Amino acid sequence: MSDHHSHEEPRQIISPYAARIRAIEALLLEKGVLTEPEVQDSISYMEARSPANGAKLVARAWVNPDFKALLLSDGKAAASELGMAPEHPAEFIVVENTPELHNLIVCTLCSCYPRAILGRPPDWYKSFEYRSRAVREPRAVMREFGFEPPEGVEIIVHDSTADVRYMVLPMRPPDTEDLGEEELAELITRDSLIGVNVPRS
């Protein structure tokens, strides 16, 4: 009886970009430019950032008008105030949703995102479909995320670049006057910081 099943381990598929990064990493280690612990520290630091950081910034802005003013005028200073370490040299710009205006963030060219604050972007953010449709038909995209901005609300699409990274300051949901900062932060989703949706209510 012959066995047609292969017992070989499935070959790992590595993208050309990943292969290039690994080669560069190996060279930097070999030349002593970086050490293995430095690489690991930097990975851990990157992994520790998450949309929870954005939620903290927004919740503080909702309860503290001075902090909100700082967040809108100097996003990096506001982030530093809450113990986050915004990367340089990219600018971190926070744009405010109002009853008249809704902001949506995209990077039409690639996947620029305020990683220093929010960590890595979701996969769909990097897709060609999102990058093109967010600009062409932002309302249709938001509808697919379950959000329908009221008629008459102006939609502003911000195109991120290597130098300028955006985050949305969503509107505080109604009937949340009794909630404290931490409870408010739980309402703020990653998608609402990108603008494809609004916070939970």
Q: What is the DSSP letter of 150?
A: P
Would you say 62 and 184 are in contact if contact means Cβ atoms under 8 Å apart? yes
Q: How far is the CB of 87 from Fe ion (least distance, A)?
A: 14
Is 42 one of the annotated active-site residues of the chain?
Answer: no
- C-alpha to C-alpha distance for 27 and 33, rounded to whole angstroms: 9
**H helix or E strand, kind and range, residue 23:** helix 16-30
Smallest gap, in angstroms, from Cβ of residue 42 to Fe ion? Answer: 20
Residue 78 or 106 having the CB closest to Fe ion: 106
Residue 89: is the preceding peptide bond cis (ω within 30°)?
yes
Of the pair 81, 159, the CB lying nearest Fe ion is at: 159
Respond yes or no: is residue 127 known to be catalytic.
no
Contact call for residues 161 and 106 (beta carbons, < 8 A) = no
Residue closer to Fe ion by CB (options 46, 109) is 109
Restricting to residues 90-149, name those near Fe ion by CB under 5 A: 107, 109-112
Active site residue 132: no
169 near Fe ion, rule: CB under 5 A: no
CB of 91 to Fe ion, least distance (A): 14
112 vs 185 by CB, closer to Fe ion: 112
Write out the two tokens for 158. 């911000």
The site for Fe ion, by CB under 5 A, has a size of 5
DSSP track, 58-102: HHHHHH-HHHHHHHHH-HHHHHHHTT----SSSEEEEEE-BTTEE
Whether the CB-CB separation of 135 and 159 falls below 8 Å is answered with: yes
- The Cα 169–Cα 106 span in angstroms is 15
Return the number of the residue (27 or 110) whose C-beta is nearest Fe ion.
Answer: 110
Catalytic residue among 50, 73, 80, 110: 110
For residues 7 to 46, the per-residue mask of contacts with Fe ion, x marking binding by CB under 5 A and - elsewhere, is ----------------------------------------
Q: Cβ 125 to Fe ion, closest distance in Å?
A: 10
Q: Is 50 a catalytic residue?
A: no
Q: Which residue has the tokens 């991120």?
A: 160
- Binding residues for Fe ion, rule: CB under 5 A, are 107, 109-112
* Residues recognised as catalytic: 107, 110-112
